Amino acid sequence: MVLSASFPLFRKHLSGNDIVHVQLSRFPHQVIDAAVEYAYGGIENISPEVALRLYLLAYNLQNKALVDACTKFLCARIEETNACEVWLAANATKNEVLIGVCAPLVATNWEMFRTSRLFHVNTEIKGIMSLLGCPRMAQESATSKVKALLEWRNASRDDEVRTARTTAFRDMVSLLGIQDTPDLINDL
């Protein structure tokens, strides 16, 4: 019952004295232990890696309080070594706070990210917009940014995403203030 109070999604599975087995095989036992610990009153010690997985579990189980707590915890611990994983999770869940905190680190490591297919496939429109708004991105060449935007647009998972990204691409190029876009695209 404690779990159903902390994780509303469990309420539909838990009723009365029934014994229910819920498999969360995507999450290691440390994450499940942290979720149970949270349900019973808080988490004492947790690593950023477990916190990120716990964040995803909380998101999947629709526990806003734990999502917010994990977001706050992760924001204070985002660094070069975990920026990619946090960026991907933030984009998958459309967490604008995490995206905003990760964006400067992604911009700092632009050369690595701009060539990553995983980055292009999983970065959402708000993520790419936040990234392009970083002061550090002003130092990148127009060619580098447009080429990455084209790769991002073309990495769409389906037609609906491609249409949304194509529309966003046009807006982004104009926001970047690139004057000779047709010539630049032809040069690519």
Residue 55 resides in a domain: yes
Residue 6 sits in the same domain as residue 42: yes
Residue 70 sits in the same domain as residue 119: no
Q: What is the pLDDT along the chain (188 residues), one digit of tens a residue?
A: 444 455 555 555 555 556 555 555 666 667 666 666 665 566 667 889 988 999 999 998 898 988 999 999 999 999 999 999 999 999 999 999 999 999 999 999 999 999 999 999 999 999 999 999 999 998 998 888 988 999 999 999 899 999 999 999 988 887 777 665 555 555 44
Look up the pTM and report it. Answer: 0.78
**Most distant pair of Cα atoms in the chain: their distance:** 69
Q: Look up residue 132 and give its DSSP letter.
A: H
Residue 83 resides in a domain: no
**CB count in 10 Å sphere of residue 22:** 12
Residue 89 resides in a domain: no
Q: Give me the domain span that covers residue 2.
A: 1-77
d(CA 70, CA 112): 26
The total domain count for the chain is 2
Do residues 31 and 54 touch, judged by C-beta distance below 8 A?
yes
Residue 72 sits in the same domain as residue 109: no
Residue 158 sits in the same domain as residue 110: yes
Residue 181 sits in the same domain as residue 111: yes
